[in-house]
Amino acid sequence: MEKTIASLAGFVVTMAFATETLAQGLPSTVDSGIGPLQVEIFAEGLSNPWGAAFLPDGSLLVTERTGSLRRIGMDGAISDPVEGTPEVFAEGQGGLLDVALDPEFSSNRVIYLSFAEARSDGAATSVGRGRLNGEVTALEEFEIIFRQQPAVPGGNHFGSRLAFSPEGHLFVTLGERFDYMQQAQDPTNHLGTVVRINPDGSVPQDNPFIDGEGADEVWSYGHRNVQGAAIHPETGALWTAEFGPSGGDEVNIPQAGENYGWPVVSHGRHYSGQQIPDPSSQPEFADAIYFWDPAISPSGIAFVTSDLFPQWQGDLLLGGLSSQAIVRLDLEGNEAVGDERIEMGVRIRDVLFGPEGQLYALVDGPDSPIIRLTPADN
C-alpha cells in the first residue's frame, strides 16, 4: 500500500521552510545539487490530481482521482469538469488515474484514460479512449478498449500509467490488487503486469504470450503496484517505477515475457516484518536496475530532456509520496549510479515537463496545487 506517514526528515525540512512559503505551505525555493530551484503555484484547488498531459496549445489536461478531467489554461485557470468521462470506482486508491494523448492527437484529437472501474465481481483497472472536442469541454465517443481481468474486491493497487512506444503501441501498468499478490506470478491474468496493446485495444502479434502461455496482452509480469511509466527519449524503451512492500521500491526496464519476481522475491519486507528472499537468491527472476530501502513511494516519472536543466539531461525524475520529494535518479546509459532527493515537504504524485522546459509536479491531496519549478538563477 502507499506509504502515508511522512518521514522525520521530511518533517524537519518542512519546518525549516516554514518562514519562506507560498500558498499551500510550499517552500518558495528548494535546494538541489544544481542550486536552488524556484517553486511557483501554477494552479490550486484540485481534488487529488493524479495524471497530466500537455495539449499542443500549452494548456494542461489533469485527472482528479475523484473522477473529473479538467483543462488548466496557461494562466492557471481551471475549467469545469470535461463531460463524457467514464464513471469511476473512487474508493481507496481507485478513481480516475492517468491521461495520455494519442500519438496522432493533432489530427484525431483522441485521448486515453485509465481508471478503476466497478464491476459485478469487484473492481479493476480499465482503459478507454475518446475524442476531445475543440472547446475541450467534452469527451466524445468514449469507448473502453481494455479491461484488467479478473476484477476483485478491494480498493488498493490499481496502478496505472499509460505510455506510447515509438512504434505506437500503448503500455498500461497494472497493480496486483494487494490482497491478490500471489496472482502476480500467473501470466494468464492481468494482476501485477505491464500490458501492451494497439491503440484500438487489439493485441500486437509480437507480444510475448500470444502463443497461449499467458494472457495475450501481457508484456511482463511479477510486478507489485506500478505507478510510474515513461519512454526513454533515446532508446525508446519503457521504464517503470514500482512500489515495494516495506522498502524495496524499484525502477525497472520491463522486457518482453520477463518475470520480475513479486511476491516470491523483493528488496523489501512484508508489512508484518516477515522477510522476503532477495532477488539475487533466485536469478531466474529479472531484477530491478535500482531500488530504495527505506521506501520513497514512487508514482509518476519523467526523463529530463529540458534545456533548463542541462546538468540533469538524460536522468529520471520520480514523484515521491511518503518521501515527500522529487527524486532524481542519476543515469549513465541504462545504469543508475546514484540518486538525489529534492525535499518538497508535500506528497508528489506526478512529474512532467512543460512545453517551455519547466518542471511541473502534481501535489497529492484533497485540495492541492500543481507547482512549477525552474532553476532560481533563470
Residues identified as active-site: 157
Helix segments in the chain, DSSP class H: 8-16, 105-108
Separation of alpha carbons 291 and 247, rounded Å:
9
Given strand 218-221, what is the order of strands in its sheet? 162-164, 170-173, 193-197, 218-221
Residue with cell 496522432: 104
CB of 196 within 8 A of CB of 216? Answer: no
CB of 351 within 8 A of CB of 373? Answer: no
CB of 244 within 8 A of CB of 268? Answer: yes
CA angle 134, 137, 138 (to 5 degrees): 90
Q: What is the DSSP letter of 175?
A: -
Q: What is the DSSP letter of 208?
A: T
Burial class (CB in 10 A: 0-12, 13-18, 19+), 141: exposed
In the structure grid, which three cell numbers stand for residue 75, read together? 494562466
CB of 112 within 8 A of CB of 174? Answer: no
Give Cα 38 distance to the centre of its chain.
24
